[in-house]
Chain A
Amino acid sequence: MKKKYSLSNILYKVFLWSYGLFSLYPLIWMLFYSFKNNDEIFISNPFGPPLIFHIENYVNAWTVYNVPRYFFNSLVVSVFTVIMTISVALIFSYATARMRWKFSGVARIYVSIGMFIPVQAILIPLAIIVRDLNLNNEYLSLILPYTAFNLAFSSMVFYGFLRSLPVELEEAACIDGASIYRTFFSIIIPTVKPAIATMIIFTFLQAWNEFPIALVLMTKENMKTLPLGLLFFQGRFTTDWGAMGATMVMASLPTVLLYTIFSNQVEKAMTISGAVKG
């Protein structure tokens, strides 16, 4: 019996290490070549760490190519998407979870339909709406659809959270004569802070990495977000692998840092969907 345990233990360990290597090495390889020149990448040292650190790859990527602009665009879009999504979803789920009115169930189910609609399917009408509203190449043209798409999911998370709170919370405030708005802002919001934190991370990651909607709606070079802007390296600069690697590393840095600092929070945020949908 003892032996059986250790055998499965060894197998597990071998698997863990080999998959870990498989998962991590491509990223490390990218980090390595972002510091190399072409000679090292292609001929003398394709696998190992760089022998000479070519920091100029990063300088080039930052100054010659449009990377700071993409970075700024991504930041604006992601931050405003987070703010919009959290505030709109929070008040909506407060009205459906706590307040008493006839169609609250219908409204909640209506918005939750959003979880079953693939974003890709409505790219065409979305592009037409944005065109008709003259919002092409405006930050709003990404922020609004991102918010609309994240609503279903974040409302569900907030709904679950708000339902679990005791009614006494509002009762006390009501007796003290506080209005519903005051109660919402000074009592409810502080209570749901953990859920808000989780949803901030989730929404930020979604918005920062979103590709298809941005591809269709952001056509002007100066308005492109990072995932989109990085594409131009593929065609024109394929020979400059170092600068390309440097750009990719810089584009990944915010989310990787966010993840390594808040790894538990991020995993909770990403897996919360399992708990809600399943």
Chain B
Amino acid sequence: MNRFFGNKKAIALFILPAMVLFTALVFYPVLQVLFRSFYDWDGLGKGIFIGVDNYIKIFDDTIFKTAVKNGLIFAAIITVYQIGIGSILAFAVSNVRIKGRNFFRIVYFLPVVLSVTVVCQLWLNVFNTEFGLLNKLMEVVGIDFRQSWLDDRYKAIYVLAFVNAWHYVGYQFALLLAGIKSIPSTYYEAAKIDGASSFLAHIKITIPMLSETYKFCLVMSITGGLNAFTQMYIMTGGGPGTSTYTLTFLMYRSAFQTYQYGYGMTAATILVIECLVATILINKLIARKHITY
């Protein structure tokens, strides 16, 4: 048996493809990002080592400040929207008295399977100033609120965050719903006998019992917000002006449009650190509770 499980040739054969692929296309690139963030490099040749100059430069860059701020705004909005609305929807769909639960489940999850391009372009059409669904609706209802939703430098980032939140709320909803189903119904029966409303029961039972699920949802939405890129790329191009830049967008522009690869990698390094810090903080703040049932 030991010879069977300790077959060195088989082990090497089995792990090699994964190790090579992962090392070459994920691990090595991350090291490259860290390493090159200390270089002045145009993507060709050797580049010049410039120490922390890129970091000094980036912390003076007003676009960088906007980008960090936008990442935080984006993360905050999608967290509140997705976890808040996702929770309420999951509570409601888990309620056996509600009819058509399967239908609702599918409807809420449906946007998740769409491509981000489709969702962004759909909402571009909804927000279109002249012909968009939203302004047309306002017209019909008779509210004079018609405006160009994405051309306002203060509003645009919120609109983009909303589109992301709308797209993926079903994902958090499904995660939470799966979590709720795993909680034994005896808990809710006990709460019912004690006279608690179903909403109160969720506050007192579901949320504490699902602390692990919530932790995961938080990590997903916060790192997702910090990484935001596609909505900006498709819907505003970082504009108006530079008002909807995020770190990823800054990185993309530096590398692929102005060929400052070193500077782009600095932005990428800060992004990785941001995400790591966020993940560690969330794990620290929501302490792991071992719940047995």
Contacts and interface: CB of A to CB of B under 8 A. Distances in A.
Nearest to B7: A180
Contacts of B108: 19-20, 23
B28 A125 contact: yes
B118 A252 contact: yes
Given A12-B95, A46-B136, A117-B26, A1 B6 contact: no
B117 A230 contact: yes
Contacts of B15: 91-92, 95-96, 107
Given A116-B279, A124-B264, A149 B117 contact: no
**A-side interface mostly:** helix
A251 B25 contact: no
B63 to A, nearest CB: 17
A270 interface: yes
Nearest to B272: A121
Q: Which of A8, A41, A152, A226 has the most CB of B within 10 A?
A: A8
Interface in B237-251: 248, 251
B178 interface: yes
Nearest to A118: B227
B281 interface: no
A244 B112 CA distance: 20
Contacts of A228: 117
Interface stretch (B52-60, B153-161, B167-175): B167-175
Interface SS of chain B: helix
A277 B216 contact: yes
B282 to A, nearest CB: 11
Of A23, A98, A270, most buried by chain B (CB within 10 Å of CB) is: A23
A29 B133 contact: yes
Chain A, interface size category, equals 35 or more
Which 8 A-B residue pairings sit nearest by Cβ, starting from the closest?
A125-B29, A92-B18, A148-B25, A95-B14, A278-B216, A122-B29, A125-B32, A91-B14
Interface of A: 1, 4-5, 8-9, 12-13, 15-16, 19-20, 22-24, 26-27, 29-30, 33, 41-42, 46-47, 88-89, 91-92, 94-96, 98-101, 107, 110-111, 113-114, 116-129, 144-145, 147-149, 151-152, 155, 170-171, 174, 180-181, 183, 205, 208-209, 211-212, 215-216, 226-228, 230-231, 233-234, 241, 244, 248, 251-252, 255-256, 258-260, 263, 266-268, 270-271, 273-275, 277-278
16 contacts: A8-B198, A16-B89, A88-B17, A91-B14, A118-B223, A118-B275, A120-B227, A121-B275, A125-B32, A144-B25, A151-B18, A180-B7, A227-B117, A256-B110, A259-B110, A278-B213
